[in-house]
A and B are shown apart, each in its own frame.
Chain A
């Protein structure tokens, strides 16, 4: 916020930046940041991350360039960058960038390294493996680079100082170059992390180009598998990736250079394209939007043909959680109701479908319980989910927001405990759950089952498209505006004539129905359903997806689901980074804290929502520009005037 003010007023005669000596630093601050860096690095080392992720190289053949080491290296880099952050408020004098920043970065990094040095010394003298499970020789070897205590003692201080200085040096670069450097770094890491995905898809596309006949095989025609051909892109893939995993050194360098060049040349164009799109209105814009949607749809429909089973499985999982996140986005993002028991609706959807489609769900059911096809069961499921939404919504709707959160969490647990209990075992199978759920049969269109993740993906895609369309329309409807009004101020909304109770209940019902779709697909995909699939954890993870992506923004939720569920993985489903599955919940927790502290509006913010969250700052900006009448204390008008 303060930075915005600084840039806004920079043109209005800010005093010249002064230069200071290289060692004229706020040493207390440096010491504080350094100690925090040391603590974080020690924590990361002892959490087992470097050790567990060491097997995943970024650049093959370079010992220290593995994701495991990266978790340690990232800390001094980040702290070196952060120590150079300087808040310049109106009337303050900025300091010139120079060697001073490098010294600060190096000092912070070195202090962070001291933390690991201490750890190495302690590890060589004591054995604390009893409470600390990662206090192991492997970690010791990793920290000392297999060369004993003598190296371990000084090497981390050196590494920390160098990385800290590198982090700080980013501040010295012109903005354009800095962006290119960051893009280069992210590209290399990204390509190495996404190796499985890229390898798979690019390989399959290349094979199909060489042998177009393969394409018909995807539709199940041709009983004998066609002979495997070399992909057109094999040379490229082999140039970038090494057989044993990770990038090749030359490949990485070329990749980085290409990315950097693209960043330098392409930056302005993306911005211009975006601006021209935003500037368009009326039919022209509609046309462009539909073209973009069409291209996305075609790509999404073609994608599963070219990706392998694992990637399709992953996409199906992403879709199932995206569907849940879209539903929660309506409840949390639009209506502002923090529902922590959202998993209850997922569970109700899953169990209703399971009971109605499985030939023998439990002993206690009466004889007349029909066995429906999947789509028939779906209709009943929707009704059930809506009723559950009303039943859970009605008691909590008038509670304070935070009480509501805990009570819905309680409801989520109650429902899971009921499904788990011996009492209802005859109906829901207790801990053994309901097995033998048949695949969803769509007649001529085929069947959807977990054996064929591609079919699940298409089914999920249809429902996600539906959910996106519904959310998009609702957001602009009378109901959606009522939700947003309640989110901003419930009392005012009520005074404006909105029936808050009914409107909030509607949010619960819509959210519940979307979640039940997801549950129905989930039960058909997995083929069996257990209470342990519906832990509170699921609610929390979906909440993280919604919040990280951007509350109230459909695009944000999609990005959130792709990044979090796709890369890190769902509650039980592995993501692209399978090695991360042990640490993903830690990362989810840290992300939630960090987002709330630094960017509560999410990665892809909803304009209106972010204005609500930063109202003070908008008012302040407007005030600095003299857009607010000083007598008008609330500055209501100014919020309208203030630019987003």
Chain B
């Protein structure tokens, strides 16, 4: 953002006007979509809805559908949030986007698949043994993801410390590619299905008039626990304090007797652990994993980190949840009322548009960045 220092009263250039038009267009499209949505909720046969739907009535969303979308959005958002923590922490400490973080998440999901199929074969993926098995799987995924993140740091990123910002980013793209392809070669390119969970897991439960599937309750619960644990770790322990100090200023932190290298490794490890948990949540939500699983959630989690403000852990989680909800709601609440067909295909496009919008309107994120002065440059 070096060139972004704007002086009040300075002449607007063509680019400024274009950006203004773009912002206005995006925001008015959102407003129009919302208005059309409200109108269709009141009267599905209103003139606008008929015009956008080729003379047919629009589909009104029922309260239950609406709640269902919110729950889906929340549970996916919680997962994005957990991945986003890794991006956010690494960016806070080292000032570069670890593009391969999505692959750390994928490795967690993959190890979960291997463990769960083995447990299923031994009959531990049902009945009373299910919950302990899930806990075991989560622990295993955490170990695998943490190891992957730490090795990645040691091999690919440590030698590049202090080089121009784009160099580690390009390296991380290579790492991401490598891990993806290696997984494909080692375990085969096909989709791997998680074993069938017990009945109660996919049943719906009524909580506060919300009908929630068991799997989503577990996902939200696990995400909340992990987030609480991370919060305690970062805010209340000495290591966490060291991490915050290194994020603030590496040199001063080193002068204060903090082992910067060790702290950076810890940061990668903690981020990896969160991604490992998120990997299992992915497995529980979508019940299958493939070598390319990590790519899109990875980019989306980065979006979530930016939406919440990079370097800001609470922000990352909040950004994840807002992104997940927006992704679940926007196609049906904004695009469908405007007469766009096949809206679910555009879910990913919604996430990217949100990223662009946030960076245009509020580049520091909704909750503010926490970066050292050198990284902000």
Answer yes or no: B340 CB below 8 A from chain A CBs. Answer: yes
A597 near B178 with CB under 8 A, answer no
CB < 8 Å: which of B1, B179, B352 contacts A413? B352
Answer yes or no: A239 CB below 8 A from chain B CBs. Answer: no
Q: List CB contacts (< 8 Å) of A513-549 with chain B.
A: 536, 540, 543-544, 547
| In the complex with contacts A410-B352, A411-B352, A421-B167 CB distance below 8 A | no
Give the residues in chain A near B363, CB-CB below 8 Å: 399, 403
A586 near B342 with CB under 8 A, answer no
Separation in Å of the A253 CB from the closest CB of chain B? 34
Answer yes or no: B10 CB below 8 A from chain A CBs. Answer: no
9-residue interface stretch from A242-250, A346-354, A390-398, A461-469: A390-398
B178 near A586 with CB under 8 A, answer yes
| In the complex with contacts A410-B352, A592-B174, A593-B156, A402-B19 CB distance below 8 A | no
Answer yes or no: A230 CB below 8 A from chain B CBs. Answer: no
CB < 8 Å: which of A130, A395, A398, A400 contacts B22? A395
9-residue interface stretch from B39-47, B241-249, B267-275, B354-362: B354-362
Answer yes or no: A452 CB below 8 A from chain B CBs. Answer: no
B177 near A585 with CB under 8 A, answer yes
A596 near B167 with CB under 8 A, answer yes
CB < 8 Å: which of A43, A399, A500 contacts B359? A399
CB < 8 Å: which of B156, B169, B340, B355 contacts A423? B340
Cα–Cα, bound, A336→B166 (Å): 9
Q: List CB contacts (< 8 Å) of A42-96 with chain B.
A: 43, 46-49
| In the complex with contacts A338-B170, A394-B15, A597-B160 CB distance below 8 A | yes
Answer yes or no: B182 CB below 8 A from chain A CBs. Answer: yes
Q: List CB contacts (< 8 Å) of A568-617 with chain B.
A: 582-583, 585-586, 588-593, 596-597, 600, 613
B1 near A398 with CB under 8 A, answer yes
B359 near A407 with CB under 8 A, answer yes
Separation in Å of the B152 CB from the closest CB of chain A? 10
Cα–Cα, bound, A134→B185 (Å): 8
A597 near B159 with CB under 8 A, answer yes
Answer yes or no: B117 CB below 8 A from chain A CBs. Answer: yes
| In the complex with contacts A133-B187, A490-B2, A395-B356 CB distance below 8 A | yes
Of the candidates A47, A403, A494, A596, the one having the most CB atoms from chain B within 10 angstroms of its own CB is A596
Give the residues in chain B near A420, CB-CB below 8 Å: 345
B188 near A593 with CB under 8 A, answer no
A501 near B15 with CB under 8 A, answer yes
Give the residues in chain B near A592, CB-CB below 8 Å: 170-171, 173-174, 177
**Nearest chain-B residue to A587 (Cβ)?**
B181
Give the residues in chain A near B341, CB-CB below 8 Å: 422-423, 425
Cα–Cα, bound, A481→B77 (Å): 45
B3 near A398 with CB under 8 A, answer yes
Q: List CB contacts (< 8 Å) of B38-72 with chain A.
A: none
Give the residues in chain B near A338, CB-CB below 8 Å: 166, 169-170
Answer yes or no: A405 CB below 8 A from chain B CBs. Answer: yes
A414 near B170 with CB under 8 A, answer no
Give the residues in chain A near B165, CB-CB below 8 Å: 400-402
Cα–Cα, bound, A400→B376 (Å): 9
Give the residues in chain A near B117, CB-CB below 8 Å: 130-131
**Nearest chain-B residue to A595 (Cβ)?**
B174
A586 near B349 with CB under 8 A, answer no
Answer yes or no: A132 CB below 8 A from chain B CBs. Answer: yes
Q: List CB contacts (< 8 Å) of B324-360 with chain A.
A: 340-343, 345-346, 348-349, 352-353, 355-356, 359-360
Answer yes or no: B186 CB below 8 A from chain A CBs. Answer: yes
Give the residues in chain A near B166, CB-CB below 8 Å: 336, 338, 401-402, 405
Chain A interface SS verdict (over half):
helix
A47 near B177 with CB under 8 A, answer no
Give the residues in chain B near A407, CB-CB below 8 Å: 355-356, 359
Answer yes or no: B260 CB below 8 A from chain A CBs. Answer: no
Cα–Cα, bound, A12→B164 (Å): 34
Cα–Cα, bound, A400→B360 (Å): 12
**Nearest chain-A residue to B170 (Cβ)?**
A596
Answer yes or no: A41 CB below 8 A from chain B CBs. Answer: no
Separation in Å of the A580 CB from the closest CB of chain B? 12
Separation in Å of the B338 CB from the closest CB of chain A? 10
A501 near B13 with CB under 8 A, answer yes
A597 near B156 with CB under 8 A, answer yes
Per-position 1/0 for A162-193, Cβ under 8 A of B: 00000000000000000000000000000000
Answer yes or no: A505 CB below 8 A from chain B CBs. Answer: yes
Residues of A within 8 Å of B, CB-based: how many? 64
| In the complex with contacts A338-B166, A583-B185, A409-B3 CB distance below 8 A | no
Cα–Cα, bound, A46→B185 (Å): 8
**Nearest chain-B residue to A499 (Cβ)?**
B13
Separation in Å of the A454 CB from the closest CB of chain B? 33
Give the residues in chain A near B2, CB-CB below 8 Å: 490-491, 494
Separation in Å of the B77 CB from the closest CB of chain A? 18
Answer yes or no: A5 CB below 8 A from chain B CBs. Answer: no
B348 near A417 with CB under 8 A, answer yes
| In the complex with contacts A405-B169, A410-B352, A500-B3, A593-B178 CB distance below 8 A | yes
Q: List CB contacts (< 8 Å) of B115-171 with chain A.
A: 117, 156, 159-160, 163-171
Per-position 1/0 for B214-258, Cβ under 8 A of A: 000000000000000000000000000000000000000000000
Separation in Å of the A424 CB from the closest CB of chain B? 9
B360 near A596 with CB under 8 A, answer no
Separation in Å of the A358 CB from the closest CB of chain B? 23
Give the residues in chain B near A399, CB-CB below 8 Å: 1, 359, 363
B353 near A414 with CB under 8 A, answer yes
Answer yes or no: B96 CB below 8 A from chain A CBs. Answer: yes
| In the complex with contacts A411-B352, A592-B171, A586-B186 CB distance below 8 A | no
A43 near B352 with CB under 8 A, answer no
Give the residues in chain B near A547, CB-CB below 8 Å: 170
B186 near A406 with CB under 8 A, answer no
Separation in Å of the A179 CB from the closest CB of chain B? 28
**Nearest chain-B residue to A500 (Cβ)?**
B3
Answer yes or no: A418 CB below 8 A from chain B CBs. Answer: yes
Cα–Cα, bound, A545→B4 (Å): 32
Cα–Cα, bound, A414→B355 (Å): 12
Cα–Cα, bound, A399→B18 (Å): 15
Give the residues in chain A near B19, CB-CB below 8 Å: 394-395
**Nearest chain-A residue to B181 (Cβ)?**
A586
**Nearest chain-B residue to A46 (Cβ)?**
B186
Per-position 1/0 for B73-105, Cβ under 8 A of A: 000000000000000000000001100000000
Give the residues in chain A near B322, CB-CB below 8 Å: none
**Nearest chain-A residue to B363 (Cβ)?**
A399
Give the residues in chain B near A409, CB-CB below 8 Å: 299
Separation in Å of the B148 CB from the closest CB of chain A? 14
Q: List CB contacts (< 8 Å) of B14-35 with chain A.
A: 15, 18-19, 22
B178 near A590 with CB under 8 A, answer yes
B186 near A132 with CB under 8 A, answer yes
Separation in Å of the B172 CB from the closest CB of chain A? 9
| In the complex with contacts A132-B186, A133-B187, A398-B4 CB distance below 8 A | yes
Give the residues in chain B near A336, CB-CB below 8 Å: 166
Per-position 1/0 for B293-332, Cβ under 8 A of A: 0010001001100100000000000000000000000000
Give the residues in chain A near B185, CB-CB below 8 Å: 46-49, 134, 582-583, 586
B188 near A397 with CB under 8 A, answer no
Give the residues in chain A near B340, CB-CB below 8 Å: 423
Answer yes or no: B114 CB below 8 A from chain A CBs. Answer: yes
Give the residues in chain A near B356, CB-CB below 8 Å: 395, 407, 410-411
Cα–Cα, bound, A167→B161 (Å): 31
Q: Which 7 A-B residue pairs are closest in the complex by CB-CB distance?
A: A422-B342, A592-B174, A589-B177, A589-B178, A410-B352, A586-B181, A133-B188
Enumerate 11 A-B pairs (CB-CB under 8 Å) in ascending A order: A395-B359, A400-B165, A403-B359, A406-B302, A406-B303, A410-B352, A490-B3, A494-B3, A501-B3, A505-B15, A592-B173
> Beyond A403-B359, A501-B15, A592-B177: 17 further Cβ-contacts under 8 Å?
A47-B182, A130-B117, A338-B169, A395-B19, A395-B356, A400-B1, A400-B165, A421-B342, A422-B341, A423-B342, A423-B345, A586-B177, A589-B178, A589-B179, A589-B180, A592-B170, A596-B174
